[in-house]
């Protein structure tokens, strides 16, 4: 019978500043430097190589190759071809709602995009334990995700459910708390109709917050505010979205320094009804066929 000897050292929350290595490089974050302007339209332009990008959002967003200050919000758009593929599937108006969980259907596409973004967002963020185990051929030094410190997963209902569907298959230990929020189609303001957050998150908690569409920013800002009311700091929260737009990113940047946002793509603008353009339509309706 194989024997197992694990050593559990004292654990501490890892640094929130992204670390880069040649073995497993992380995508460079976009440092937001937003200056509101009434004269310039909302637009996003991209150019440069993988290591340098330029975005214009009524002003500009720039990447820096030096150490990132911890008091700025970071936006990550991982340059992975699979992420681009699933975003493209989601964009297509001919992609049907999920039926029988077939691979190319929108529900599955949203889940697959979420899986990839979770993988990217969890780099250097998961607590681990080291030890030794007996393999069939000898003793091996190993490293496991520490199950004593599960990552919390908070989907914003209902579209957030589709984006976080594969969280438990990517993360070895998770706790899920549901947050239901509805947006008034006229005022575009959110209303909370379900709050299953714990009274207070344990010290050192790590939370993934799922909202597929970061459009006007009202819902995601209200959700982050709720998480903070329940004991979290900005750096303990990572937002995962399918598509983001400048208005939401600007509001998050102004209000939550140190927050990290992972998104499949950044689109240029939001229309007067609060929909991202070109976006992918209503993520909730398309995911659940309503």
The pLDDT value given to residue 28: 59
The pLDDT value given to residue 94: 80
Beta bridge partners of 74: 31, 260
Residue 189 to residue 217: CA distance in whole angstroms = 9
Angle at 155 between CA 25 and CA 15, to 5 degrees: 35
Distance of CA 36 to the CA centre of its chain: 25
Residue 159's alpha-carbon distances to 25, 164, 268, in angstroms, are: 30, 9, 21
Indicate the pTM of the whole model.
0.75
The pLDDT value given to residue 47: 37
The pLDDT value given to residue 154: 96
The pLDDT value given to residue 147: 84
Q: In the 3-class helix/strand/coil scheme, how is the chain assigned residue by residue?
A: CCCEEEECCCCCCCCCCCCCCCCCCCCCCEEEECCCCCCCCCCCCCCCCCCCCEECCCCEEECCCCCCCCCCCEEECCCCHHHHHHHHHHHCCCCCCCCCCCCCCHHHHHHHHHHHHHHHHCCCCCCEEEEEEEECCEEEEEEEECCCCCEEEEEEECHHHHHCCCHHHHCCCEEECCEEEEECCCCCCEEEEEECCCCCCCCCCCEEEECCEECCCHHHHHHHHHHHHCCCCHHHEEEEEEEECHHHHHHHHHHCCCCEEEEEEECCEECCCCCEECCCCCHHHHHHCC
Q: What is the pLDDT along the chain (290 residues), one digit of tens a residue?
A: 443 333 333 333 333 333 333 334 456 566 555 444 333 333 333 333 333 333 333 333 333 434 455 678 999 999 999 999 999 989 888 877 653 234 445 558 888 999 999 999 998 888 899 999 999 999 999 999 988 888 999 999 888 888 988 898 888 888 999 999 887 777 778 888 999 999 999 988 999 999 999 999 999 999 999 999 999 999 999 999 999 999 999 999 999 999 999 999 999 999 988 899 998 877 766 666 66
């Amino acid at each position: 019978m194989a024997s197992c000897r694990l050593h559990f050292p004292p654990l501490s929350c890892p640094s929130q500043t992204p670390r880069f290595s040649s073995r497993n490089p992380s995508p460079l974050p976009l440092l937001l430097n937003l200056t509101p302007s009434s004269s310039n339209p909302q637009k996003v332009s991209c150019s440069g190589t993988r290591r340098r990008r330029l975005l214009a959002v009524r002003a500009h967003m720039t990447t820096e190759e030096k150490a990132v200050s911890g008091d700025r919000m970071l936006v990550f758009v991982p340059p992975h071809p699979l992420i681009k593929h699933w975003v493209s599937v989601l964009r297509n108006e001919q992609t049907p709602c999920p039926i029988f969980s077939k691979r190319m259907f929108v529900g599955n596409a949203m889940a697959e995009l979420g899986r990839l973004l979770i993988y990217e967002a969890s780099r250097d963020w998961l607590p681990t334990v080291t030890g030794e185990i007996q393999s069939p051929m000898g003793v091996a030094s190993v490293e496991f995700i520490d199950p004593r410190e599960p990552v919390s997963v908070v989907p914003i209902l209902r579209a957030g459910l589709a984006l976080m569907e594969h969280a438990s298959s990517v993360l070895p230990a998770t706790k899920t708390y549901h947050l239901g929020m509805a947006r008034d189609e006229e005022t575009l303001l959110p209303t909370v109709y379900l709050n299953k957050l714990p009274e207070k998150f344990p010290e050192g908690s790590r939370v993934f917050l799922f909202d597929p569409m970061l459009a006007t920013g009202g819902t995601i800002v209200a959700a982050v505010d709720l998480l903070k009311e329940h004991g979290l700091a900005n750096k303990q929260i990572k937002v995962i979205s399918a598509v983001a737009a400048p208005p939401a990113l600007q509001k998050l940047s102004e209000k939550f320094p140190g927050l990290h946002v992972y998104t499949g793509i950044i689109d240029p603008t939001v229309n007067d009804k609060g929909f991202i353009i070109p976006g992918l339509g209503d993520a909730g309706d398309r995911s659940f066929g309503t």
